[in-house]
């Protein structure tokens, strides 16, 4: 080997470590962003599925007499069952249905609304029933799949994270 080659090789020592030290934090931040977005997307799909399950359950509610109102309790129970069966409820809550339901309704403060004669846009629509599910999606509710991180200069992750995930499904009965 020539002396010039040995000299240039000696000057390159540690270049790979320096490149790795500079690029690894950027790659980890990108990975965190992709995984966090995937968690939001997955949780939104769970909320949308629960609203759809509730809309399907509306079709099984018996028509009431003229003197009584429609009882949508089975619809609410179907939405809760759909949410409880998902992985958005932390495993630390426990495996039984009652504990998971309590966490979902009390700790996470999930809101479920069944509105007759309304579409999801809020317009009056005779013969339609809309089911709306609102799930808080923040660290205090404990519904995030990954916790937020505090990186100086990278607050961008917190600006695009929604505080609440909402889904609505409408069913036409007539």
Question: What pLDDT does residue 37 have?
Answer: 86
* pTM for this model (two decimals): 0.79
Would you give the distance in Å from CA 131 to the centre of its chain?
17
- CA 4 to CA 12: how far, in whole Å? 13
Q: What is the pLDDT of residues 113-171, one digit of tens each?
A: 999 888 888 888 888 899 999 998 876 666 676 666 766 666 555 667 788 899 999 99
How distant is the alpha carbon of residue 44 from its chain centre? 4
Looking at per-residue pLDDT, the higher value among 111 and 12 belongs to: 111
Domain limits of the chain? 18-172
Backbone angles phi, psi at 131, to 5 degrees: -120, 120
Q: Which of 169, 173, 174 is nearest to 79 (CA)?
A: 169
Residues 64-76: what's their mean pLDDT? 83
Helix axes 73-84, 15-58, angle to 10 degrees: 160
């Amino acid at each position: 080997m020539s002396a010039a080659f040995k000299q240039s090789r000696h000057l390159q020592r540690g270049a790979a470590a320096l490149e790795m030290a500079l690029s690894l934090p950027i790659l980890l931040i990108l990975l965190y962003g992709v995984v966090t977005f995937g968690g939001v997307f997955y949780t939104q799909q769970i909320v949308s599925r629960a609203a759809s399950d509730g809309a399907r359950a509306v079709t099984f509610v018996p028509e009431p007499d003229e003197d009584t109102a429609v009882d949508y309790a089975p619809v609410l129970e179907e939405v809760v069952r759909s949410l409880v069966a998902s992985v958005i409820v932390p495993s630390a809550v426990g495996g039984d249905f009652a504990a998971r339901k309590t966490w979902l309704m009390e700790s996470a403060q999930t809101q479920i609304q069944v509105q007759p004669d309304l579409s999801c846009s809020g317009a009056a629509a005779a013969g339609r029933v809309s089911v709306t599910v609102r799930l808080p999606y923040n660290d205090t509710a404990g519904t995030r799949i990954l916790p937020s991180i505090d990186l100086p200069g990278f607050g961008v992750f917190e600006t695009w994270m929604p505080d609440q995930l909402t889904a609505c499904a409408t069913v036409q009965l007539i």
